[in-house]
Amino acid sequence: MQHHARIEPMLDEAGKPTVFAPLCKAIIATRLKLGEMFGSLCSDPGSEMLLDIYWRDSQGLKTSLTSLWRATRASEMTARRCLAVMEEQEIVERMPDALDKRCINVRLTPAGREKIDICFRTLLAGYAQTCQDCARTCEDGPLPQGGCPWAAVLYCMATGGFPGASGGLHTVE
């Protein structure tokens, strides 16, 4: 028997799905790639658990303890310790599954969600500053051989250009 694995998805103040969900998914994918390339050197079970809970909450999916343990790729003991700290700091809360009393689900508290949202805002602010610096440099003067001197900036490399202050797209040669 399959039970209903949905909860109410996270919504912003305007009642729209949370805007940070795609960023969260991109960070999860990046962390997986780091794990593939560097193994346990880049492992952080607590962060992996928080990102997993945030993503699943944003999509209206329940997060079981089993699912949470898998998200860490660490030992169950390590995951349990991380969860205990998160509960102590009132970032997450456990709740029994309404349809299967044997299951325990975990979700972010409002305070936990706000803390993660603050981290996402900080990350995006730094990224926006990087893009502004790149745009300003490329628009301020002649470019060496028609190329952007900031071509090494991730955004320029990934997109082949960026929206300049004038509204146009500066392409990287």
- Work out the number of other CB atoms within 10 angstroms of the CB of residue 19: 13
Q: Is residue 122 part of a domain?
A: no
Nearest-angstrom CA–CA distance, 111 and 109 = 5
Six token digits for residue 119: 């981290």
What pLDDT, on the 0 to 100 scale, is given for residue 85? 96
Backbone angles phi, psi at 99, to 5 degrees: -100, -25
Q: Is residue 119 part of a domain?
A: no
Q: Is residue 2 part of a domain?
A: no
pLDDT confidence tier of residue 60, bands split at 50, 70 and 90: confident
pLDDT tens figures, 15-38: 655 678 888 899 999 998 988 899
> Do 140 and 99 share a domain, yes or no?
no
Q: Is the pLDDT of residue 120 over 70?
A: yes
What pLDDT, on the 0 to 100 scale, is given for residue 111? 94
Q: Is residue 46 part of a domain?
A: yes
Q: Supply the range of the domain harboring residue 72.
A: 21-108
> Do 26 and 103 share a domain, yes or no?
yes
